[in-house]
Chain A
Amino acid sequence: MSDHSHDLPFWKKYIFSVDHKMIGIQYTVTALVFLAIGFGMMLVMRYQLAYPNQPIPVIGQFLGEPIVAAVENPDTGETGYVLTGDGYNSFGAMHGTIMVFLAIVPLAVGGFGNFVLPLQCGAPDMAFPRLNMASYWTYLPGGILMMFGFFVKGGAANSGWTSYPPLATIATTGQTIWLLGMVILITSSLLGSVNFIVTVVQLRAKGLSFFRLPFFAWAQLVTAFLLLLAFPPLEAAGVLQLMDRVAGTSFFDPGGLIVSGVEQNTAGGGSPLLWQHLFWFLAHPEVYVLILPGLGIISEVIANNTRKPLWGYKSLVYSAIFLGFMSFIVWAHHMFMTGMGTTLSTFFQATTMIISVPSVIILTCLIISLWGASIRFTVPMLFALAFLPMFGIGGLTGLPLGLTASDIHLHDTYYVIGHFHYVVAPGTIFAMFAGIYYWFPKATGRKMNEWLGRIHFAGSFVFINAVFMPFFFMGMASVLRRQFDQTETLHGAAVQGLSVMSTWGAFGLAAFQLPFVFNFFWSIFAGERVGANPWHATTLEWSAPSPPPHGNFLSEPVVACGPYEYSVPGEAEDYTMQSPPPATA
């Protein structure tokens, strides 16, 4: 497969490219757009939560029915647009869906995985370049189809990203579109994961044994296995729910349901719990898909900016593998409140406790890696350092949720929202930012502006905690999730102040993303030009030019050492590359 990229027409070079770097950039840009859309939905929801049933300012008029309803102010006669219960629920369901399936995973896996992995393996491209192109061009239509739900009668899917039947079965057309979109997205993911695994196993450069691979590559490998094996049950479940909705089957319908006073005339005999088991069988490994690439990125950034090898590389690798394996047997800890007996819940509590061990090991290895270091506070490193305690908070708050007795009080409250957002938002998304600042020079040949990056970091760090820290206290006070108006309950009204704080935190967070957006685009054209290895890093991607040509390396990489040979005693430089590039004349 040797296409000479300088001979390719525009549409083959930029649109239907088979080059992993271009595809990685396509995934990155598309995912960031979806991230912004999901973020925007969250801002509207947070406004409603802080100021229930008050008109949405500025954009309320553009949202349309059924998301908003026009309300006339009796005093002033002005028309305001108030969010409706259905609109709130559709934003909630789509915010979750977009963030998980259209933004984070495509960015972490499709974006970073595609761009960096073949380079770190010393390969000229992915094992199956055309399959790679197909996976992007399945993701984009799938994502657009999902968004199309907003334009059908009844609006987008509004039964939570978890789509529990029977609610999802009786929901409006948007839910069918959600299911069709999911089937397409799962196909895209499948194509990608096959590619990643074959690439890491078969295309490693000479001398690059498995235990000389950067931890980022290991993280992506485990992630690819999770995607490969965990998604199909959700695809099956999606097909079953589609049939319940469209073909009148009763897979999730026990029969005799009375909806709005009308008895439903189906065969019955099914179970809503069947959906939950199939869904969570994917969705639990999915959360490890969300975090592992981020842990991989953080590891690279920490090794590079501590100028020493990572502490406990082998522990990191074995923990990642063990984590991947364990992730398949904890899923029912999302279902503790469904009437589960003690035998089943004991099993899942035990596996949930066990799975916390590799996570703790990984975090501890990364923190200990700082000891004896020479820490450079570059922008990627700022995000990586912040990631560590944030991921710690996210992981620790999983403990009360994983034990059934405490889960009785905390299940389906804001505590859960706080827990998983700490892991994904100041966790994974900070890792994504770290990765963008870190690999931007490799992709473009230019560095992003350092000072804008510092401002972006500082503001994001402060305000993201302002958004999510109140959630733990709201959860302890029993404020439930997916509540259009939390002040409807006594305890919700009592802690409304925390909600207001969170909303203003969200607006502050939004404001501090502007320096990043500006920096990203401005630096593409006017950033400081850099060479192949501006960070003085060791892994193979830095042996290629910035940006790498089609085929990646000017001379075939031959690896003679591990991935983190920094500050090797007796060496002239404080970094030893795995395969140094040829000396330029």
Chain B
Amino acid sequence: MQLLGQATDIAPYANWMPPMLSEHGGQIDNLISVLHIFMAILFVAWGAFLTYTVIRFRARAGHKADYHPVKGKASKYAEIGIGLFEVFLLLGLSMPVWAAYKNNPPKADDRVEVRAIGEQFQWNFHYPGPDGVFGRTNAKFIDAASNTVGLDPDDPAGKDDIQTIGEMHIPVGKPIYVRVSSKDVIHSFAIPTMRVKQDCIPGMEIPIWFTAKEDATTERVKREMIQEFPVADVDWYRLRHHVAVQDYQDESGQVILKEGEGIGLSREAGEKKLKTLRDVTDTIKMQPRNPLEIICAQLCGNSHFKMKAQVFTYDAAGYQEWMDNAVPKEVEIDFGGF
């Protein structure tokens, strides 16, 4: 159901929502749209009534208040109508979506599993590898640099397991089954573009699942999110997560912004670069460096705001290629600098 405000295309922040890239996400966006229309109707109705009465019944010479209460069934019918609509929202739109989100996991043989383990302040990912079986883990094997999930070296099932920090690699079009947990405090695994969110409670491993839409490969999303920014009006904050899609040169032919390069890791450096760019061009075409972000949605300490990871979505061939080449590696998480 296409309604006002539904972000079905990969349009950056259509109606304030991030691009919607999962198969169940549309229903959530739908519910939010329906709700806001309902809320707007109620608010406008109340507001109109309020405005009307405030004007019509203002105190003035010759005007007296009426001691007797106004009669009429309108408010009773409105109240019942509102109640019934809320029941419809609950039973018709919310509960089925929530039930599917919680109760119908994809079948074990038809899903890609990954474990997401939050810690202060990074996301660790553990993939079962080609054999599809997770190796045993134990806290005593944890090494911050080389074995953040604590894979047991003696478990044969773990030999082909892949570990990454800050990167989740998944195929599109297939159900992804994420087992979410935490090493230390409560975190919350959230992917806004996939409309998933799940608290990571220490001592528990909670599964959630979603399917990225067929056309939502990272490369395609980045292409769709190319935007032209007016250089005079933007600041470094707006552009800090973007990279240029072409070279920008000054009069002497020197390249001041290369294709694929960002405008700077710190505000000082970024503002300087923007200043030079303003002399050269009116607009710059940029795309997000990494559009599919994983964020932490539960306060977890002083770097809670930096606890980010990136989702890389591939078509089937690309995913296979990644899996073949994957080795545990550190990713440079762009802290943005101070």
Contact flag (A, B; Cβ within 8 A): yes
Per-residue interface assignment for chain A, residues 47 to 88, with 1 indicating a CB less than 8 Å from any chain B CB and 0 otherwise? 000001110000000000000000100110000001011101
Of all chain B residues, the one with the shortest Cβ separation from A262 is B184
Contact of B306 among A406, A488, A566 (CB under 8 A): A488
B-side interface size class: 35 or more
In the complex, B293 has a CB within 8 A of chain A: yes
**Which residues of the partner chain A approach B297 to less than 8 Å between Cβ atoms?**
337, 411-413, 480
Query: At the interface with chain A, which of B52-60, B253-261, B274-282?
Result: B52-60
Cβ-neighbour of A484 out of B49, B188, B288, B302 (below 8 A): B302
Nearest CB on A from B316, distance (A): 26
A273, A311, A412 pick with most chain B CB within 10 angstroms = A412
**Chain A min CB distance to B139 (Å):** 6
A513 beta carbon closer than 8 Å to chain B? no
Contact B308 A488 (CB under 8 A): yes
B331 at the interface (CB under 8 A from A): no
A491 & B18 in contact (Cβ 8 Å cutoff): yes
Q: Are A408 and B57 in contact (CB under 8 A)?
A: no
- Contact between B238 and A478 (Cβ–Cβ < 8 Å)? no
Taking a contact as CB atoms under 8 Å apart, the answer to whether B302 and A86 are in contact is yes
A398 nearest in chain B by CB position? B39
Comparing B66-74, B158-166, B212-220, the segment that makes contact with chain A is B66-74
Once bound together, how far apart are the Cα atoms of A85 and B221, in whole Å? Answer: 32
B174 within 8 A of A: no
The 8 Å CB contact of A257, one of B99, B183, B306, is B183
Verify B202–A166 contact, CB threshold 8 A: yes
- Known contacts: A85-B305, A356-B86. The answer to whether A308 contacts B202 by CB under 8 A is no
**Neighbouring A residues of B65 by C-beta, 8 Å:** 306-308, 372-374, 566-567, 574
Q: Which of B28, B235, B240 contacts A409 (CB 8 A)?
A: B28
**0/1 interface trace, chain B 11-25, chain A, CB 8 Å (1 if under):** 011011110000000
Please, which residue of chain A has its CB at the minimum distance from the CB of B297? Answer: A412
Inter-chain contact A368/B31, CB cutoff 8 Å: no
The answer, among A74, A346, A412, A493, for a CB contact under 8 Å with B188, is: A412
- Say which residue of A259, A263, A353, A367 sits within 8 Å of B87 (CB atoms): A353
Interface stretch of the complex, out of B75-83, B105-113, B127-135, B317-325: B75-83
Least Cβ distance of A81 to chain B in Å? 13
B-contacting residues, A287-316, CB 8 Å: 306-309, 311-312
> In residues 7-51 of chain B, which contact A (Cβ within 8 Å)?
12-13, 15-18, 27-29, 31-32, 35-36, 38-39, 42-43, 46-47, 49-50
User: For B120, what are the chain A residues with a Cβ–Cβ distance below 8 Å?
Assistant: 259-260
User: How long is the Cα–Cα vector from A74 to B338 in the complex, in angstroms?
Assistant: 12
* Contact in complex: B53, A371 (CB < 8 Å): yes
Task: Give A427 Cβ to nearest chain B Cβ, in Å.
Answer: 14
Q: Does A547 contact B (CB under 8 A)?
A: no
Q: Which 8 A-B pairs have the closest CB atoms?
A: A254-B203, A85-B302, A372-B66, A478-B192, A405-B97, A374-B65, A403-B94, A370-B53
Interface residues of A (CB under 8 A from B): 52-54, 71, 74-75, 82, 84-86, 88-89, 158-160, 164-167, 170, 254-261, 263, 268, 271-273, 306-309, 311-312, 337-339, 341-342, 345-346, 349-350, 353, 356-357, 360-361, 363-364, 367-368, 370-377, 385, 388-389, 392-393, 396-397, 399-400, 403-406, 408-413, 473, 476-478, 480, 482-491, 493-496, 566-569, 574
